[in-house]
Amino acid sequence: MARGLSVAAVVAVGWAVAILLLYQGLRMGLQYAYEPAPTIAGIEKPTIAAIMFYLGMALIPASPAAAAWLSARCGWTVAARILGGLAAIIALIIGVWATLTANA
Segments making up each domain of the chain, as ranges:
2-102
Q: How far is CA 39 from CA 20, 30, 103, in A?
A: 21, 15, 27
pLDDT, greater one: 93 or 42: 93
CA distance 22 to 49: 9
What's the confidence (pLDDT) of residue 50?
85
Which pLDDT tens digit goes with each residue over 15-68? 999 999 999 988 888 887 777 777 777 777 788 888 888 899 889 999 999 999
Q: How far is CA 15 from CA 28, 62, 75, in A?
A: 20, 9, 24
CA distance 26 to 37: 14
What's the confidence (pLDDT) of residue 104?
58
For residue 92, is pLDDT > 90?
yes
Which pLDDT tens digit goes with each residue over 76-86? 999 999 999 99
Report the SS3 class of residue 44.
strand
